[in-house]
Structures are given as C-alpha cells and as structure tokens.
Structure 1
Amino acid sequence: MFRTALRNVLAHKARLMMTVLAVMLGVSFVVGTLVFTNTLSNALQNSSAKGFDHVDVAVTAEAQESKGNQLARTPELTDELLERSAEVPGAASAIGVVQGFTAIADKDGDLVGGGFQSQGGNYWGTKDERYPLVDGHAPKGENQVLIDSETAKRTGYKVGDTVRLSIDGPVLKPTVVGIFTTDDGNVAAGGSLALFDTATAQKLFGKAGTYDEIDVRAAAGTSEDQLKAALDKALPKDKVETITGGELADDQAEMISSSMSGLKQGMLVFAGISLFVGTFIIANTFTMLVAQRTKELALLRAVGASRRQVTRSVLIEAFVVGAVAGTAGLLAGIGIGAGLRSLMGALDATVPDGPLVISSGTVATALGVGVVITMLAAWLPGRRAAKIPPVAAMSSLHAQATTKSLVLRNTLGALFSAAGVAVVLAATGMDGSSGQAPMGIGAVLLIIGVFILTPLLSRPLIAAATPVMRIFGVSGKLARQNSVRNPRRTAATASALMIGLTLITGMTVMAGSLQQGIDKMASSALRADYVVSMANGNYLSTDVDRTLRELDGVTATSPLRNAPSRIGGETEYLTGVDGSSITQLTELPVDSGAFEVGGGKVVVDDETAKSKGWRAGSTFTVHYEDGKSDKLTVAGVYEGNEMIRGIMIDNRTLTPHLEEPADMQVMVKTADGTSEATKDRLEKALGNNPAIAVQDKKDISNEIAQMFTLILNMVYGLLAMAVIVAVLGVINTLAMSVFERSQEIGMLRAVGLDRKGIKRMVRLESLVISLFGGVLGLGLGVFFGWAAGELLAAKMPTYELILPWTRMGVFLLLAAVVGVLAALWPARRAARLNMLAAIKSE
C-alpha cells in the first residue's frame, strides 16, 4: 500500500502541484512571520542590552501609593543621593541621568525620528562612556548641544551648525558642538538623541537639582549583586529602589518580546486564514482525486485491502504532499522574512543589525503545519472512499450523495448558522469590551454554518444568473449546469473566496462607518477652529497659550490642563479650562444643569457623574496636588466623548495648586475661521516648530482614523495571500473538472461546439463560481460590519453605519477577475483536448 500511495503521488504531479502550492503559501507566511519577528526582536534585544553595558546597578525613585486624600509624591533623586551612591563600597563611579522628550528639526524643518523616539538627556563629561564622542567637544550652557551620529547622518548636521529643537513648545536654537555614537535602542529604531550639559538638561526638563536615575558602575572585583546589596544598605529604602544592569536588560528584552508578540499574533492570524482557505483546496483536491480513482480503490478492496489500508494509502499521499509543501514553504518563508526586514529598511524604518534568526521551532512549525493541515484535509475523503463497497464503486453507484446525508448536512448547517446569528445579535446588545468574545464566537459559528449550507445555497443563487447566462447561448447554459452539477465541489471552491471577501468587506464597512462617526464627533463637539498640541502627545508649555492669546485675529483660546487630585479617597484627573471662553470653543450636549465653569463651579461628563452618583447641584471635596482642599459644585452634566470628557474646572481655580502647570492642548478660535493662511500664521507665531501640531477638525478626524486606515491597508495586503490561495483553488477545481469531463467535452466537440465555445463554457463556469463566493462574502461581511459597529456605537454615539457601495462593487469585480484569470489555463486545456481520444477515455 505504501508503494501504491507513492506511485499515485508521482502519477498525478500536475494535479497535486496546485495543492502543494496552496499549502506552501500558507506555510511560507507562517514561517516568514516567525523569522521576521524573531529576527527583529533579537536585534532590538541585543541593541538594547548594549545600552546597559555601562550600568551595573540603577537607582530609581521608589513608586509611592496615594493614601487617603493625599496624592502620592515621588521622591527626588538629589545630588546628595548621587554622592552617597558613588561612595558606597564597591562603587567605581555614579552618574546622574536626566532625560525627556526633545524634538529635533531637520534642515527642511521636519521632525526627525518618530516623535515618541525623539529623546534628550544629559552628557556627564569627557569620561561619559555611554556616549563616546566622534567629533567636537562636550556641551556647556543652553546654547550648545550634542547629537547622535545616526541623526547627523540622516540630517546632514555637522559640528558648528545651528539646530532647531523643542522640549515642550518654544523653539531653541543651540549650536551642535559634538557628535557621539550610542547603542540606545530608540536611536537604533530610527529615533534621535540630543544631549546637553547636566545643569541645562535639568533646567530644560523641569528637574532642577534632581535626576531621573542614578547609574552606578562596580569597581573591579565587585559583582552586580554585591554592589546592589551595598546600595540597598546605604540608601533610604522608602525613597529609592535598585535594580542590576542584568535585570534591566532582561526586563527590556521581555518588554520588546511582549511588544513584538502583538505584531506576531496579528500576522499569524492572517497566515492562519490562508491555511484555512488552503484546507478547502486540499480537501477538494483529495476528494476529486479519490473520486477519480474509485474503481482503482474498489479493485484494491476486492483483492483483499482493508478499509484501514485504503484510508492509510490516501493519508500517505497527503503526508508526502505535506512534507514537500512544508519544506518548500520553509525556504520561501525564510525569503519572506529577509524581504520584510529589507522592506523596513527601504521605508526608512531603521532596524538594528543582526543575523536572520531561524530557530528549530520555526523549522518544526513549518513541517508540522504543512503535514498536519494536509493530512487532516485528506482524512475525510480517504475515509469516505474506504467506506464505499467495492461492487458499488465499480458500478459508480456511489457518485450521488444520499438524501439522508444531504438532509443531515443541511440540518447541521442550519443549526450552526442560527446559533451564530443568535450569538452575534446577543453580543450587539452588550458593552463594547464584554461583547467582543461572544461576537467572535458567533462569527465563527455563522461562517461554519454558511460553509456547510453552501451546497444548498449554490443552486438558487447560481440559478439567479440564468438570464445573463442565456446571452452566451449553449456555452452559458452548459456552464450554469456544470457549476451546480457537483454542489459540494462548487461550495468548497467558492468558500475559499468567501472567507477572504467576508473579512475584507467587514473591515471596510467598519472603517468607513468609524470615519464618519469620528468626523461627526469632531464637528459636533468642537467650535474651535484649531487645536494645538505636541506631535507626540507630550505636555505643552504654558507659553504656547500666552503666545496664541496675544496673536492678532485670535478671538478665544483655552488650554486643557490635566492635573491629578483625590476625590473620596480615589485618584481623579481634573481638566483645567478657561471658564470664560470654553463655551465658545466646545459644543457639548448638557444632560442636566448648565455648562458653567468658574470659581467653585465645575461640569462633569455623564459617565463620571453616574459612577460618582453626582447630578447638577451636587457638591464634593477635592484634594489638590499641593495637599490643599476645596469644595466644588457640579453646575452641569454633559455628554462626554472620546475627544472631551472628565471634570472641567476653571484654570484660575486649579493652577495655583500645581507645581509645574502644563497643557495637554490649546483650543483656538480665530476671526477668519479655518484657512491655510490662518494656519500658517499660527504655526509661524509658534516658531514653525516641528514638535507642535496645529490641526483643524478635519486634521483631528484624520489623525484619529489614521490608525484604523493603516490597519485596513494591512488587512488588504495580508488577505491578498488568502485571495491568491483562493485563485489556486478555482484553478485546481476547474482543471480537475475538465479532466473528469474529458469524454463529455469530446462529445460536445464532436456534435459541433467549437474550441471558442469550450473555452467560453469553462470561463463562464469559473466566473459563476467566483461570483457566488463573492456574493456570500459581501453579505457576511456587511452583516459582521454592522454587528461590530453596534458594539462601537455603545461607546461612540455619533457612529453611523455607512455601506461603501463603490468599494463593495470593486470587491465583486475582483471576484469576477479572479474567476476569469483562474479559468485561463483550464479553459485552454479543455479546448486543446483531442476529441477522439477524449471520447474513448473513461
């Protein structure tokens, strides 16, 4: 039986090639994902570990907890603690580290790095081993700065140049006095690093006389653990905590691995979809191969082969195919992983140098997935073939599915579909977070149910195309009949395309509806013409509001000032606003009371009011950052949204209690409204600062929706793999259908149907099957898009279902193109059949 199975594999090379290709594509995507993410993670971890080479023990401030009505106050790392750390037995040196956001503009005025990766810090002196100088000298004073060599290379800055940079809003113009090298992970990932002398860094980052961290080097002969023990003994335990350089590197590696896991899981989901689609093709292929060899298998049964041996022979074929596909997928996946890393470099997403990581787990996964998926898909056809009695197989009585099996299949499909719809509908009535899992379960049940019902659905849906098919005469009529002749095969082929289009359509419906909801939210909640904020989300200097307030043409401004407080023993954040102008800048529906902010009067969003049991007229005591308290009155309750929510208090009441006031953003109303000229005037007044974003309502909407657009584009690209696999499935089905109907095609040629008619018949059959899968995919996609939107609508009142008819038309056209392209080779093969040889074939 083993030799028989191997001969069958070799005897059907062309037919099995499509199956190998389908499995290979899915496996290569899995392997490419693992290779790429492992390589990137390994490179980042190695680069990060180098950054801790000069740290044996790090001393940081001990995190404090808020107690009662007192806010936690983080202890400061002072010069006294720095000196005590340096004098600990076993310590060779101690460096005080100051760091914070520092945006550098290139020579064109654009922000260097990725915003969050634009960092600044202090240079300790000529013996600072962390940042070896390659040119220039150490900085001294506010007008001198060092920049890293990678930033210098990207921007063209050199020693002596003036560079424009910003810490929290106002533009500084120091001179580059030196360039240094660094193993800093942010720089390796494409960010930038600027260094000042310690006193300047402390002043710029608002940490006068204090440090963010103290890095201690061990003397020769002292281990990290020994130094840590000595520091723990010498320093106050209630103010600081210590951690070794090795632990820092391990924590950083774990954080990098954790951050990479999301990317890896997302890519593996789409790889799984490709494999899932490929499973249909494999099952379809083996079903047809087994059907074509029914008499051969019956003869084996007649001469003594058992059912188990017949099933085993089919599984052996599947094993060989899976092993070959897994090996090919492994090699292709390694190429994909290397290609993705090169692509990131081409897109200016800097990746640290490092070897391509091909782990034993990746190799085992490739072979395991290839073999297991193929054997699982082949098991049912093999088992079904083994159960056919030899006499029945030889007389072809087995060809038609029994009424009992069809009734069982349709009943099972109906139950799965009904359960899926019920669970999805139930999930739409839940809260956004609690409804996600039920909706996912319901979606899986519904897709399984529709897949099981697809043979039943194929007849009425394909029959709907009859009027169009008549236009093509005999070829059209034959194509329609052929497409419903074997509903199970048609269903398996169409389902592969259905799954891909379901996901694409669902995501498109959600993205379009979400964009519409965000646009409505921005236009309805904001009266301000512009919102000014830091490009990376950091706090703005209060100088920004003062500058804008004094600008000609600006009629109203209000900074949004975030501050922690304690209310009822819990930490709550207050949002400071300009009480006299906030109503000119926002338009928030008021549920009760009045939108009045000033003195001791505040307004509260509906969710906070509900959680606290407040309503208009309620009073509460707030404990500020400086320890003082005040009694406030809720003047009104407004409907919050994703852009504006929280407890709004007048800045004149809040600011005196803040040690370092800073704004999240500044809302601006101008006399001339929004225009390019007005925007340019605001940006110019702020020094054309690359770190500051001046945005109108449309800019805000686009920025919020940008993440979803990026995800959608990634989905389109990744699901292209599933569509390619679906194309292979259509080609495979048609090719085997042509082989199966060789005698019939020969007869059609003999009675007068020319080669063009044969080609047209096969192409129309492919087109009908593809459009059938496309219609099912669009229908399911719209349903899932609507259901997921209902979950979002609970959190976003402005959400509105938008059906992207144009894109949906493009998707249906794509399905048609898939059908036409997939039919090219099978149609040509059918037309080239020798009619006499075909008529004589069995």
Structure 2
Amino acid sequence: MLSLSLRTLRTRAGGFVGAFVALLLASAVVTACGVLLESGIRGGPRPERLAGADVVITGDRQAKAPPVVGGDEPELTEPDLPDQRFAEVVRPEAAVVERVRAVPGVRAAVPDLSFPAHVVVDGQPVAGVERSLGHGWDSAQLTPFTLRAGRAPAAEDEVVVDAALAARARLGVGDQARIQVDGEPRPHRVVGIVAPPAGDGLERQAALFFAPSTAERLAGHAGWVDAVGVLAAPGTDGERLGERIAQALHDDRLVALVGDDRGQAEFPREADRPSLLILVSTQFGVIVVLVAVFVVAGTLALSVRHRHREMALLRAIGATPRQVLRMVTGEALVVASLASVLGTAPGMALAAWARDEMAARELVGIETPLSLSPLPALAAVVVGMLTAALAALSAGRRAGRVRPTEALREAAVEPVGIGRGRRIAGSVLLGLTGVLVVVTVAVRNKEMAAVAAQTVLLLVIAIALLGPAVARGITALLGWPLRTMFGATGYLAAENTRANTRRLASVITPLVLCVGFAAAVLGVQATALTTAERDQAASSRADQVLVSTTGGLPPTVAEAARRVPGVVAATGTARTNIVVEGTSAFDPVLHTYDATALGGPGVEATLDLDVRSGRLADLGGDGVALSVDAAGTLDAAVGDRVTVKLGDNTPAELRVVAVYDRSAGFGDAVLPRERVAGHTTTGLDDAVLIRFAEGADRSAAAAALRELSSRYAGAHLVDAVTTQTEQVRALRQSAWLNLLLVAMIIAYTAVAVVTTLAMATSDRAREFALLRLVGTTRSQVLRMVRWEGLLVVVASVGLGALVAAATLVPFSLSLAGSALPALPPLAYLLIPGGAAALALLGTLFPARLALRTHPADAIGTKE
C-alpha cells in the first residue's frame, strides 16, 4: 500500500497542503520548545567569583514536603518549579567549614560571605556597576583574585577593590573610598587592588574585600555563611570530591555543587530562571501538539471525505478496511516526515529569537546559553509522525468502513451522527468542565482560579469531538433566518450547511479554538493585571515612596524617615516568601506564599489591605497576617498559630493577628520586619512607604525626605502612584509570553482555517457548475458562499465566546470578585474581525477560482 500512497500523493497533493503546513509549523515550534527545554535543564548561571572552587557547599533552596507516613525519603509535591523554592539564600552553619575540611581530598575549605557594598562617588554609586558585593578577604582565593598592588585588608576601615571597579571610581592604593554597606556611606582606605585570572574584573559583578572579622560584622548573620568554597587536593577529581562531601555531611538541607552548577550559589535568583524556561517551553509545546492534532485530523478527515467514492471503489475491487487504513496512514506519514524534517531548521532560529526576547524582558538570564543538540529536532520529527499517525488512524478507520456500493453513487451523502466513543468522550469532557466551573464559582480562591484558566482546552476538545452534533445544532439555529430573510441564496447556504455538517465542523473547530483561546488568554492576563493594579492602588495609603537603584535600602532609611517633621509613618517593605506544610488527600503538600515584611510602627497609616478580622497594628514579634485565600487553605483564624518556614528555610511558629483581602499587591502573608531580620539575602528594604501627617507642610516634608535620600547612594523619592509591586511588574513581563502564545495559536489557526476552507470550497467545483447550469448566476453563487461564510463566522465567534466565558467568568469571580472579566477593548474588535477575515478569505477566493471554469467543463471533472 506504500506505493499506492505515494501515487495518491502525487495526484492529490493539494488535499494534503493543510496537513503539511500544520505539521511544518508544529515541527518548528516543537523544535524551538525542545531547544529551550534542554537549555533550561542544562542551563543556569555559570560561576564567576567562585570559579576557582572545585566544589561549593550551600543550602538547598528547593522546598521539600515532609516524608510520607511510612516512607523513607521526602518527596517533592511538584516538579522543580520557581514557586516551590525558598526566596532567599539558604545559609549553612559556619561549623560546616570544619566538617568539610576533614573530608579526604580537601585541600582547603573557605567560608564565603556576600553582602551589598557600593563605592559612592559624588553621592551616587559608581556608574555602570549593577551588582556590587562585599566579601571577606579569605574568599578571594575562590576566584582566585590576586593582588596587583598593595596588601590584604586588616583594619575595619580598610578595603581591597577589584581593578575594574577601581578604574571606574578612579581609586588607587592609599586613596579614601566612601563605601555604603548597612547605612550611610563611610570612608575606607583602599589598601589593595586585585584582579581575576583574566581581565581587570568580573563580567557581572564588582567585588570589594574586607578583613574577615569586618565582613562577618557587615554581613549581619554571625555563625552562618553564604557558602563554603572547597579547593581540592592535587589529583583529586572535583565531582567525586563533591559526592564524598555530600556523604560526609549527610544533610539534605545542604547541596554540594560542582561544574556550572556552582553558579547557583553565586546567583541564586538567576538560578530560578531556567526553571521558568522549562515551564514555558513545556506548556507551549503541549499546547502546540494539541492544536496540531486538531488541525491535522481535520484536514486529513476532510481530504478522506472528498475521496469518498475513491475509497469505495478500492473496497469494490477487493481492498480490505485494513489496507485502506494502511494507505491513508502511509500518506499521512510521508507528508509528516517531509514536513517535520523541514520544520526543524526554522525551529532552531525560532528558539534563538525567543531566548533573546525573554532575556531582554528579564524572564531568563542573559547568560543562559542555548543547548543545541540533535535531540529537539529528533523529538520534533517523532512528535510530527505520531501526530500524523493519530490523525490518520481516525480518518482511516472511517474510510475503511466505506461500503463498496458507495462507488456507484453519483453524489456522496454524509453519514448522520457521530461514533459512540466520540459522543461519550465529548460528553464526559463537557461534564468535567461543568463541574470545574461550578466548583470554581463556589470556592472562589486563587488556586481554583488557576484551574479555571485551563478549562478552555477541555471545552475546545469537547467541541472537536462533538463537532457534527454541534454543527447540526448551529444550522438548526442559524439556518432559519438565512432561509426566510435572504432569498434563494440564503436558502441554498442554509441547506448546504445542513447537508454537510461534518464539513462545517471541520471548519469551525479551529476557529473556535482561535477565538476562545485568544479571548481566554488575553482575558485571564488582563483580569490578573487589573486586579493586581487595583489592589495595589487601594492598598497603599502612602503619599511618597523611597526606592533605590542599588537593589535596596538599609533599614536605617525608614528609621531616619520617621524622624522627619511632618511624617506620621514610614514603613519599610521587603519581599520574601514562606512555605507551609500541609496535607491533601492524606498526602503531604507544600503551600508556598509570596510574603511582604513590614517594618516600623504605624503600618495601618501607610497600608489598607482591607482587613476582614484582627488588626495590622498587632503585627509584631511572632505575628503574621494572612490573606483570605491563605487563611482558608490553612484553616487558620485570628489567634491561631501556624508553623512555617521563612524564606531561608528557617522554621518559625507565627501567630495570626489579621486576615485581609487585598493580596494581589503584597502577597498572601505579611510579616513583621524584625521577624525576618537575618533571614533575607540582602537584609535591605525594597521600598519605604511614607505617610504625611494631617495638616503638615508637605512641601517641606518632601524636601527633607529628598535631603535624607541624598545621604544614601541610589536612594530617591517618588510619587506613590508611579511605583509598582514586584507582582505587577512580573505580570507585565509575562504579558509578552501570553501575547506570543496567542499570536502562535492565531497563526496556526489561520493556516488551518484557510487551507481547510480552501479545500472544502475548491472541491465544490461540480456543485457550483451544477447550480449555474440550472440557472443560478455567478454572483448568486458567490452570495451563497458569502452567506455560508457568515454562518461560519457567527457560529465560531459565538461558540468561542461561550468557551472564553466558561473560563473567564469563574476566573474573574475567584480572583477579582466580579463576574465581568477585564478584556482589552481592542480585543472585542480584533478577535471577531480576524475570524471573519479568515473565514471569508478561505471561502470567497477559492470560490472565485472555481467559478472561472465554464460550467460544462467543470461538471465533468473527477471527484
């Protein structure tokens, strides 16, 4: 049957154009997603300052659930995702250094401390330096940095500066440098200039070195280190040494990193970004494969239906159903193999473009390299072949059931109804979607909102399975106005669609996917962003906000701001997270919540989180305020105690003092600043919220605050309206990803719709010729086609709107408390307008081409 498949492809290549283009696009996108997935798995920040260490010991930032009852090892409740990690550096105890030194093969074990430290020139941090850190002098050997001039620091006011930073700040040995660490800049004497093995400094950071005792004081967490750098004895393999150290420590809170993984200890925040790359590439790849299955199945099914009599003739001359199935499958696999191989090259280019765009938006680290190997291309080819095989099996089974007597019929009549399996599967999916919608509306929390956002795919799959039945309902609903209001051409359009419901279903399914998916994704994004911005605007009662360009403000800034005349409250805020252990269906789970630490009295003067019970004023000591969602999930009320792990994996027992509703701007937990002191990576505030007293001279108070900010390098005063929380910034950044996904689905759907409609219309040449021979004019045929296209548009937009509504209304109720989701105004015009353009393009243009042939010639053409 393979030779027959090849001959069929040569004579009916046009019938496989849609499948070929769909598989080509699928191969390109799957290749790109595979490259990004492999890059995320193998990627991560490369070590710079710790590049000279053979092994780096640091705390494990992966949040782990407790062991199952009767189990031996802790299990992760989810894959290694960013929201399952502790937000801060998890520090080892300083005592670990001595234990590491005792391991055979260790030449030296060096404690490493890192803390923000900036050289200040003319009141501002040195230009061009985004990341500047201070360290103890003993850790200089971990790069290794070597002295170019001067000596090591010994006194508290002495510092050694890397050569690149010294050149920018125009510093030399013996000069005085003003350095800001934990407060206002203080003078230090430069006693040495150092450089790494290559160049004058590190690519992504500046380094300042202090005496070890001074560094320990400035870091602010005595008894703990950020990491332990291990230098191997001569002849010792670093990877094996790491394994020995891990066995010797036998502590699952610590990890021994070797190779490029050492960069995770040096750039903990950037280490989370490859996980995001894995998540994004996996989601995009799965969605593309699902869409490809729909599109290819639709185009192949349409191609097979157009060859109804040919299949019957094959059956009449002795071909078995299995042979017909093999022929159809062979045709699909030939098309898939060619399209999948051709799609891999543009897929590589697409991956490079996507990585660059994500890096430009800080969604992945700019240092994340692309991992190019044959695996993504091979996976794309395999996925393409499997997609085509699945689609061909569905179409081929129907073709194999064609009765030989069908070859004698002049006109093919579509079978009525759908298979029992499709009917049951489609009904189950519709029922499951209904249950999800009801539960989401009843529960109304953010977890269920996330579930509601996924119902669009379930509904589209259900519509695809129940397509002919849905199409019959549409023609029954919309056919009546066409018959009664638009004359003979409307009557013909209604009857044509009623008699060809399978063809109609093949056309509207990709359009429903386009309309429903685009509206759902844009609506979910707009609703989440609007809710976050609304909550942020309503939550903050601040008049002014102090922020910094150097990554944070010392807590002393908030203390000084409170002493400014006219300021009634100054609240320092710092982002972090907490992890709470729980159970779900008797299995251990983790609840990871974004949290904000608040410092200073008068919190209720600067914040209004819509407190439902308790008081934010009681936030202090071991107090914690929880959002309504978090309190409901943890079954906690005011006065209850909850056991959590802070952002650096430190256990803490907290007392609930308030439950609030506005969580979109400040996270699901609010902690007192003093409780997280020493448990954040930098120890700095992200911002300071300023509230002026009633009747105070605001101009004078603002001027005093600007003078105060001038004492701290990088600090400046901004209006509260112009500030954005990290959550809002993250939502705006992720908007690009959602738009990319929508654009990809629309492009895919455009190909599917245009090719499907073109195939369906061009194969109606004999029908058009017959209509013209019985007296119908060319313009009347075109009007009939336009009415059919209008019916397709109305049906697709209507069903797509219902699909989007089933997703967006529960999502909006759960997240925003309103049944009306936010949707960009332009989307109301572009989405239905795009669907109409695709439908008309796919019908009118092929119809005009078909009508160019004289009716007498067209009526004699083959099927």
Q: TM-score range by the shorter chain?
A: 0.7 to 0.9
Between stretches 544-553 and 362-371, larger displacement belongs to 544-553
Counterpart contact for 2:120–2:179, Cα < 8 Å:
yes
Match of 1:812 among 805, 809, 832: 832
Partner secondary structure for residue 570 of structure 2: strand
Distance 2:627 2:286 in 1: 42
Describe the shift of the 1:138–1:214 C-alpha distance in structure 2 as closer, same or farther (beyond 3 A).
farther
Partner secondary structure for residue 809 of structure 2: helix
Tell me by how many angstroms 1:308 deviates. 1.1
Match of 1:666 among 688, 695, 705: 688
Written as runs of structure 1 = structure 2, the 5 A alignment for 1:437-452 is 439=452, 445-452=458-465
Describe the shift of the 1:178–1:838 C-alpha distance in structure 2 as closer, same or farther (beyond 3 A).
farther
Distance 1:501 1:594 in 2: 46
Written as runs of structure 1 = structure 2, the 5 A alignment for 1:380-419 is 380-395=394-409, 399-402=413-416, 405=418, 413-414=426-427, 416-419=429-432
Describe the shift of the 1:308–1:509 C-alpha distance in structure 2 as closer, same or farther (beyond 3 A).
same
CA displacement 1:630-675 (0-9 Å, x = unmatched): xx999x7553642387688798x9999x9x9975753311369999
> Partner of 1:269 in structure 2?
283
> Partner of 1:358 in structure 2?
373
Distance 2:607 2:21 in 1: 58
Counterpart contact for 2:626–2:670, Cα < 8 Å:
yes
> Partner of 2:582 in structure 1?
none
Between stretches 362-371 and 102-111, larger displacement belongs to 102-111
Tell me by how many angstroms 1:368 deviates. 1.3
Counterpart contact for 1:57–1:242, Cα < 8 Å:
no
Q: Structure 2: which 5+ residue stretches go unaligned?
A: 62-89, 579-592, 643-653
TM-score (norm 1): 0.76
Distance 2:773 2:264 in 1: 76
Counterpart contact for 2:157–2:189, Cα < 8 Å:
no
> Partner of 1:332 in structure 2?
346
Distance 2:641 2:5 in 1: 83
Describe the shift of the 1:245–1:507 C-alpha distance in structure 2 as closer, same or farther (beyond 3 A).
closer
Alignment pair present for 1:25 and 2:25? yes
Written as runs of structure 1 = structure 2, the 5 A alignment for 1:361-760 is 361-395=375-409, 399-402=413-416, 405=418, 413-414=426-427, 416-430=429-443, 432=445, 435=448, 439=452, 445-458=458-471, 461=474, 464=478, 482-532=496-546, 540-551=553-564, 553-559=566-572, 578-579=600-601, 581-587=602-608, 597=618, 637=658, 639=660, 641-642=662-663, 643=666, 665-670=687-692, 682=705, 685-687=708-710, 698-699=721-722, 703-748=726-771
Counterpart contact for 2:27–2:340, Cα < 8 Å:
yes
Number of aligned positions between the proteins: 797
Counterpart contact for 1:420–1:444, Cα < 8 Å:
no
> Partner of 1:624 in structure 2?
none
Counterpart contact for 1:77–1:213, Cα < 8 Å:
no
Partner secondary structure for residue 77 of structure 1: coil
Match of 1:120 among 115, 133, 144: 133
> Partner of 1:100 in structure 2?
115
Partner secondary structure for residue 859 of structure 2: helix
Describe the shift of the 1:605–1:393 C-alpha distance in structure 2 as closer, same or farther (beyond 3 A).
same
Distance 1:681 1:315 in 2: 78
Counterpart contact for 2:468–2:502, Cα < 8 Å:
yes
Match of 1:784 among 798, 807, 816: 807
Describe the shift of the 1:260–1:756 C-alpha distance in structure 2 as closer, same or farther (beyond 3 A).
farther
Which letter maps to 2:301?
A: T
CA displacement 1:368-404 (0-9 Å, x = unmatched): 11111112112222211221211133215762323x5
Describe the shift of the 1:392–1:41 C-alpha distance in structure 2 as closer, same or farther (beyond 3 A).
closer
Counterpart contact for 2:514–2:745, Cα < 8 Å:
yes
Distance 1:459 1:554 in 2: 70
Counterpart contact for 1:311–1:383, Cα < 8 Å:
yes
Distance 1:724 1:654 in 2: 48
CA displacement 1:325-371 (0-9 Å, x = unmatched): 21112222123223334556777976448675123x32331221111
Between stretches 417-426 and 379-388, larger displacement belongs to 417-426
Which letter maps to 1:194?
A: A
* RMSD between aligned residues: 5.8
Counterpart contact for 2:521–2:742, Cα < 8 Å:
no
Tell me by how many angstroms 1:237 deviates. 10
CA displacement 1:253-311 (0-9 Å, x = unmatched): 99999853542343332333233223233223222322332322222222222121111
Which letter maps to 1:100?
A: F
Alignment pair present for 1:316 and 2:322? no
Distance 1:19 1:108 in 2: 64
Distance 1:95 1:61 in 2: 15
Between stretches 821-830 and 807-816, larger displacement belongs to 821-830
Which letter maps to 2:463?
A: V
Describe the shift of the 1:428–1:555 C-alpha distance in structure 2 as closer, same or farther (beyond 3 A).
same
CA displacement 1:100-156 (0-9 Å, x = unmatched): 2457899997998998xx35143748984615579887786868664686x999xx8
Tell me by how many angstroms 1:425 deviates. 0.9
Tell me by how many angstroms 1:53 deviates. 4.9
Tell me by how many angstroms 1:7 deviates. 0.3
Distance 2:772 2:228 in 1: 87
